[in-house]
Chain A
């Protein structure tokens, strides 16, 4: 498929003059020039940018439309009604384009980022059938302000007319006033306004230095997690979409997990203070997340219900939405409390100016790979020991405990993986993930089924809802029970795949003191694996935080992909 070519016009050149000159060299038919106010949208984690497309709301002569276009080909992918700025894919009119867009956006909201007023001139190159074979589009910024953007001239080819577009591009390539390989004007506007497209991802992207000491590396990890937490706080407060709170909670849980593994690395009094602070924060964010998950699940569940039962589910969704709004208001109140401000301020101060490790924290000055490898090996040993004790008669609590141990190991691998060669970490994570998936699904189904039954009772007791709306919850509970049972049945196979010599050796090879040690530092991709996730939530030590990820959304794990 042909690609669009973009050129930027020299600041001292005039668009009209340039187009007039171009028109003397080749036959182009001009469409009327229009002034368009364009606002670019993307999700917080740049899903459209990563997809190579752009959504913009265009207002011309008071009429607004939303245009989704490809940055690669310049093609318009879809147009939507634009009376209001787009937000969620589910708000757009249903159709094939909306489905494609929803596959990219998922639950993330579109956020208006930058607005530019442009004067646009489109010129069409026609063949002898009067058919458009290429378009030249000139966009000039009106009211450039303090940070002017250079005008952009694009050659947008039409499929099947590559040779013709190439001739036109060659002609533009030869113009001294043009610089090739310019950015899309709206992407340039983003940069002008201080955005860095693609800069946020919920994945942990750290490059840890294996020559550093334990404390330094722990601090690098904790700073990255704190940055992720703060980045998601405004969106969490505004409830722009459910992923802000999700990513906020993931950062909190990972922080708690790292603090849980920081004895003899960081000062004990610091650990006491902040373990308790982040535990409170984890609990404060739990109820809203639970309801977010139920709301997301209910939308999926609706697709499986026969049409005549959907209104019943709608009543339940509406009940959930009300509860979610209440829970979110309580969460915002918690974030407004002095306790939260003190936690954030104190944590920032500690991370900015941490004390040098003393004799009380011997692991703080030991080489980081050694510290991490020992803790990974210890977590692995514990998981194997307890996992081997599980049989068909084991109480659910034993599996729940094992889930925490699996998480503990997973977080260590995620946070410290880049200290090691990725090919050593990947096989451990791959099989660990298999174990976590079944354990997570099993527990989440159990917890969620219990919560649903409470909701049903609450709806009957306090809210004026028809009994049929409560009955539909019964169907949801049945579905959860089936999934939970199926997950438990799959535990042994998954655990056996993890409890094998190759994984054990991979764990041993991480330890610089171990005879199996591989040697050499990691590739530093920061995640150590590159798998999906599905490991669920919760700090391994967070026994009091029973907020599960969704077992009904296997493709949307609670944790982001590391």
Chain B
């Protein structure tokens, strides 16, 4: 009897220990999560404040002396999570009354979508080529592709700028489109993926009399469906966020995407700024919600862990 009780006691103790451990770990994770969500959530909730409320809350960050130096205004900014009055007025102002914002948003779309589509098509073709070809020349070319992928913009923008100048496409949308479409980033990932397709399938198709093109369309593309989604998402983030390229390749501010425009917001526009920022993040958040698993898979492939 005594022994049984002891055992029970030990079991309870072990359980308790396990529970406290889980609770502590959960608390750590939760606090991390709050920090991670804070900026996004603040942007979203603040976008529901009307212009006067925003100005009253945050107008102070533009308080300057006549010389342009910073000045301390008696009161601090109060960060507010919940608006006094939920208003949708500023959204309608952004969407229907101020074409400037909408035009910049449209700019972002018109850069991102064609680049995403064309880079995918070109990269799919190229990665099929890389998968099928053998030899030192191919290895070298692939290595060059990887190096280009890893170069920061400080390096790659110089060649891009020179070519755009020669082709006379500086200050046009083509200066963003063309280097983006031919960027080797997608090739690297897709080749890694395609190499995993068993050779025997392709050989079998060949014996059955399928040409290269047919093998590509009918076998490789369906097998790479998941990878195509992942790569599409990664390209989308890259170009939806783009800042460096337009700054250098487009002197005309009329053509700039929304990301650059948002950084130039001044005292007069802060009332609308949160609404614009919110609208700007909607497309990428939607893609994230629907494609999170593909994104995770794509990142894991980049690491080569599954490769």
A and B: interacting chains: no
Could you tell me which B residues sit within 8 Å of A by CB distance?
Answer: none
Q: Which residues of A contact B (CB under 8 A)?
A: none
